[in-house]
Amino acid sequence: MPELMRAVTATGFGGPDVLGIDYVPTPVPRYGEVLIRVAFAGVNRPDALQRAGAYPPPPGASPLMGLECSGHIAALGRGVTGWQVGDAVCALLPGGGYATHAVTSQHQVLPVPSGLSMAEAACLPETCFTVWSNVVMRGGLSAGERFLVHGGSSGIGTTAIQIATALGARVFATAGSAVKCAACADLGAEAIQYRENDFVEILRAEGGAHLILDMVGGSYIPRNLRALADDGRLVQIAVLESPSAEVSFAEIMMRRLTVTGSTLRRQTPVQKAHIAQEVLAHVWPMIDAGHLRPVMDRVFAMDDAAEAHRRMEASDHIGKMALQMPED
Ligand SMILES: NC(=O)c1ccc[n+]([C@@H]2O[C@H](COP(=O)([O-])OP(=O)(O)OC[C@H]3O[C@@H](n4cnc5c(N)ncnc54)[C@H](OP(=O)(O)O)[C@@H]3O)[C@@H](O)[C@H]2O)c1
């Protein structure tokens, strides 16, 4: 293994211009970990937050950005069973995906689904783990329910639409432009252009949402509660607008609403391993059956990570972006 590897590094916290390429020590897999020779790394909104200093990596994780990747197993730590050097995989990472090599727990590694490219496979773990754990394990979505996802054209949103549709739910999705709404509709959602239409009115006219997956927060929180059917569930996965809102707990009580949420990165290795097993058992068959495929926006060269972050922060993208690592 080379002692040094190429990685996307940052000169400090700030805008995309702080990003550059440097040589850093290649990580060594510890007990139960594998080393992956990264082919592609998925780009996620939390990467941009980490770059800006608003989302520090958890203790013990790589200081590099990158929460998911595809590639081939390059080395095994002690105690690893079930994986061989050379296996084509995709993996959820504690960080460190923006590099030619990355380490992660053997229990957060999944096989590359057949029929998907390595670029597509890199874009699966973060969104599939997040959507399955929040929409199904936490939110309990079942067939026939009305499901609303905000940010419908995002990496998370496009995955949530496809998984919820495959589960037999009636899916509504909000998005900020006609083009983004068309992308949501292509995936099977009833799209709501939120700058022109009130999602609360639309959902209430249909009897309310049984489940809402929200990443906006702020002013959306009381509106989400109003858009829920009695006994409905709100699952919060991010607070892009604001973490705070004034809500009536009388409404929660009288209409038996459930408000919950989670973040993936802070969960324990045991919890992540459990989600990985669920994703392998339930989401990978959806991919095999043709019900789910990552919506790919663009693939950037590793050297162009700053450009990918600019595109994400301008919200110009639809679906997922990935970085391609050099082969040498
Ligand atoms: N809890 C977890 O474990 C977890 C895991 C992964 C990601 N996340 C979060 O989930 C969200 C989606 O992630 P992603 O990687 O799919 O990101 P993304 O593609 O950039 O999605 C963000 C979307 O939110 C919409 N949006 C609505 N209001 C917004 C606002 N006030 N500011 C910015 N965007 C707004 C944007 O579309 P419009 O143009 O339609 O507004 C955009 O499509 C992110 O906030 C991310 O941090 C949470």
The candidate with the shortest Cα–Cα distance to 41, out of 325, 307, 326, 311, is 325
Rounded to whole angstroms, how far apart are CA atoms 170 and 244?
29
DSSP 232-270: EEEEE---SSBS-----HHHHHHTT-EEEE--STTS-HH
* The two structure tokens encoding residue 322: 């990935």
Nearest CA to ligand 1 atom 2: 263
**Locate tokens 């957060």: which residue?**
108
CA of 314 to the centre of ligand 1 (A): 11
CA of 312 to the centre of ligand 1 (A): 9
Nearest CA to ligand 1 atom 21: 154
Q: What pTM was estimated for this model as a whole? A: 0.97
318 secondary structure, DSSP code? -
Nearest-atom index, ligand 1, CA of 67: 6
Neighbours of 16 (CB within 10 A): 18
The HSE-up count of residue 279 (CA atoms within 13 Å, CB side) is 29
Kindly state if the Cβ of 190 falls inside 6 Å of ligand 1: no
- Residue in 133, 156, 271 to alter for ligand 1 test, most ligand atoms within 8 A of Cβ: 156
Residue 86: which region, alpha, beta or left (left: phi > 0; alpha: psi -120 to 50)?
Answer: left
* Ordered per-residue pLDDT tens for the chain, 328 residues: 889 999 999 999 999 999 999 999 999 999 999 999 999 999 999 999 999 999 999 888 999 999 999 999 999 999 999 999 999 999 999 999 999 999 999 999 999 999 999 999 999 999 999 999 999 999 999 999 999 999 999 999 999 999 999 999 999 999 999 999 999 999 999 999 999 999 999 999 999 999 999 999 999 999 999 999 999 999 999 999 999 999 999 999 999 999 999 999 889 999 999 999 999 999 999 999 999 999 999 999 999 999 999 999 999 899 999 999 998 7
